[in-house]
A = this chain, B = another copy of it.
Amino acid sequence: MAAQPSSETGPRRHAVQLSPMQVPKASDVLADDLRERIIRGEFPEGTALPPERELVSQTKMSRTTVREALRILEVQGLVRVKTGRSGGAFVYRPGKDTVADSVNLLIRGRQIRIPALLETREAIEPYCAQLAARNRTDEDLERLDQANTDIAADGTLADFLQANVDWHIAVAAASHNELLTGIMLALSRSIYDATDNQGFVDAEVRRTTLRAHRTVTKAIRDQDPDAANRRMSRHVHTYAEAVLEVEDRTTVTVPET
């Protein structure tokens, strides 16, 4: 059909030059369009997109295509699909969960080591605490205190770790920076998973943690950004060192392949 350039010496019938020709997939086109509208806020959160068959008749695409488009958006966390009558695809603004998921994928797939996780945390959390000290509201303080009492309560290991994570997240939330909060959320989940069956958390660690949290919380309450930063920095650094020490002792077994 088309005249190919064949080679430099070939007889060029026409001087037309075409780029390699990119034919986007129909489902991507639909997905891109819907995504753009969702992000622009054209549909408020929670509204239902038209049912699949309706979209079919509107777009003149096949149902297969429409469904693939919806699936793409679902994976990206832009819609949630419910079955049944008055079901359908409901619009959600992209959330921190999506970021957390992809970070987790990165971590697991690239075999990111715990040290790297802890380093990242050391980078982010002190600044979070600093911002928290500047921007915290009274509700933020309540959440922090709640997490601290949960930590103080002698519960199971899982309880302790959860309360621990809650506190760190609360600090991030108190920074009132959604992006930082999202990243911390992702990190926390992964650090939790990595630290879970690492059983180095004894009573001593718990007490130390609680004390550190209290001092940081106080700095945040007193709106002392500098102290908050410094103390948090110290805390996460100490924690990291403790974890790494255990790591080194346990690194005999590398579960690979």
State whether A179 touches B76 (Cβ < 8 A).
no
Say if the beta carbon of A225 comes within 8 Å of chain B: no
**With a CB–CB cut-off of 8 A, which chain B residues contact A76?**
75, 102, 105
Selected from B68, B96, B109, B126, the residue in CB contact (under 8 A) with A68 is B68
Say if the beta carbon of A244 comes within 8 Å of chain B: no
The verdict on A180 contacting B109 (CB below 8 Å), with A41-B257, A71-B72 known, is no
- A249 CB to closest chain B CB (Å) equals 23
User: Interface residue tally of chain A, by bracket?
Assistant: 35 or more
Q: Which of A38-64 contact B (CB under 8 A)?
A: 38-41, 64
- A75 CB to closest chain B CB (Å) equals 4
Say if the beta carbon of A163 comes within 8 Å of chain B: no
**With a CB–CB cut-off of 8 A, which chain B residues contact A96?**
106
**With a CB–CB cut-off of 8 A, which chain B residues contact A27?**
71
**With a CB–CB cut-off of 8 A, which chain B residues contact A72?**
71, 75
State whether B110 touches A99 (Cβ < 8 A).
no
Say if the beta carbon of A152 comes within 8 Å of chain B: no
**With a CB–CB cut-off of 8 A, which chain B residues contact A41?**
257
- A216 CB to closest chain B CB (Å) equals 16
State whether A178 touches B116 (Cβ < 8 A).
yes
State whether B75 touches A106 (Cβ < 8 A).
no
State whether A178 touches B71 (Cβ < 8 A).
no
State whether B127 touches A123 (Cβ < 8 A).
yes
In whole angstroms, what is the CA distance A39 to B106 when docked?
A: 9
Selected from B68, B103, B119, B124, the residue in CB contact (under 8 A) with A71 is B68
In whole angstroms, what is the CA distance A183 to B182 when docked?
A: 11
Which residue of chain B has its CB nearest to the CB of A98?
Answer: B102
**With a CB–CB cut-off of 8 A, which chain B residues contact A116?**
177-180
**With a CB–CB cut-off of 8 A, which chain B residues contact A257?**
40-41
Q: List 23 A-B contacts (CB under 8 A).
A: A38-B109, A39-B108, A64-B64, A68-B68, A71-B75, A72-B75, A75-B76, A77-B102, A78-B105, A78-B109, A94-B105, A94-B108, A99-B102, A99-B106, A103-B179, A106-B178, A116-B179, A119-B127, A119-B175, A119-B177, A120-B183, A123-B127, A123-B128
Known: A120-B177, A123-B128. 15 other contacts (CB 8 A): A39-B105, A40-B257, A76-B102, A78-B109, A95-B106, A98-B105, A98-B106, A103-B182, A107-B179, A112-B178, A116-B178, A116-B179, A123-B123, A123-B127, A123-B180
